[in-house]
Structure formats: structure tokens, C-alpha cells
Amino acid sequence: MRLRLTPRDTSFFDLLAASAAHLVTGANLLAELLGADRPARKALAKQLAEAEHLADEATHSIMRRLNQTFVTPFDRDDIYGLASALDDCMDFMEEAADLIVLYKLEALPARVSDQVQVLQRAAELTADAMPRLRSMDSLSEYWVEVNRLENQADKSHRKLLAQMFDEITDPILLMKLKEVVEKLEDAADAFEKVANMVETIALKES
């Protein structure tokens, strides 16, 4: 571990942890939305949009703090990139929920639930990992597991697309569903990006 002779602003750890906590809320609301009827989905999508707004505020707090702080706990660009990547996770989940409501989709393919379960687990792991950036200890299990989950999500995504093209004859419905599942895949990729950034930061700080 490098010796540091200057004080560091450690509030960034709390801000990143708060940002990641919103992801757990978002992923759980998304899972709840899948199992709800259309009227309930609209209310849940609104709650998810509110959670996304809170996540945006958390991201802006990190950016403002970066502009006000001379000595950061680790590389300034890494903090910026990590905050942005966390924000992307929430944005993609909120977009998927919004599309489900806007497109007035009824029952969704079963494998969509598999995608969302991966997001829920990735969100939990990410929220658990952020506070541990303070010490950089025991983080390798986090990024290994998120990478494994993303690989699982990729396989589920490919199977889901194949199933949709085989079974759905309405081209408009197919297009709508495909857009939703692509946003969920984007969310899984965004969680992997966060994990990869944490790995890079940990390696730099070791």
C-alpha cells in the first residue's frame, strides 16, 4: 500500500455507497414490476423513476465534491468513471421499466425474469462492495462474481432472443420486447463495467 502524506477526503466512500444502494432499490422495483398487472406497473415505474432521480442526485453530489476537493482518496478520473458507471446501471434499469409501461406490454417471456434476477444480485454485490473501497480488502470475490453473472446474463439474453424470434409472430410486439431485453442486457453490461473499474482501482492502490 502506498504511503500517503496528505489528508484525503473520505466522504467519497459514503457517496459511492449511497449511489450503489439506490441500485438495489431500482433492481427490486424492476423485479416487482415484472410480476404486476398493467395498472400496478405504472405506479412501480413511477417509483423507479423517483429512485433514478435520487441516484442522479447522488452522482451529482460526487461530481460536485470532486470539483471542491484537491486530494482525493484515489485517482480523480477513477472516481468520476465509477460514479458515472453506477449511474448507467440505474439508467438502463429505469429505461427498461419505462418501456414496459409505455409499450403497454402484457405478459413478458419467462427469461426476462432471469435477466432481472441477475441484475438484483449484481446490485446487491455492488452495494456491498462500495463501502469496502475504503480498505480495498476482499474485493476480488466481488468482481469475479459480477463477471460470472454477466456471462450468465449474456447466455440468457441469447436464448431469450432466439425464443422470441421463434415464437413471436407479431413484428411490432417483437420489436418492443427486443428493445426491453436489450436495455436489461445493457444494465448487466453496466454492472460488469463497475466491477471491472473496481478491479482496476484495487490493482492501482495495492
Q: Residues 110, 113, 115, 121: what is their CA dihedral angle, to the nearest 10 degrees?
A: -150
User: How many angstroms from the chain centroid is the CA of residue 69?
Assistant: 26
Residues 87 and 177: their CA atoms lie apart, in Å, by 24
CATH architecture type of domain 10-205: Up-down Bundle (1.20)
pTM over the 0.85 mark: yes
> Any idea where the domains of the chain sit in the sequence?
10-205
Cα 62 to Cα 77, 82, 126, 128, distances in angstroms: 12, 10, 17, 19
State pLDDT tens for residues 123-173. Answer: 999 999 999 888 888 899 999 999 999 999 999 999 999 999 999 999 999
State pLDDT tens for residues 83-105. Answer: 999 999 999 999 999 999 999 99
Residues 40 and 95: their CA atoms lie apart, in Å, by 17
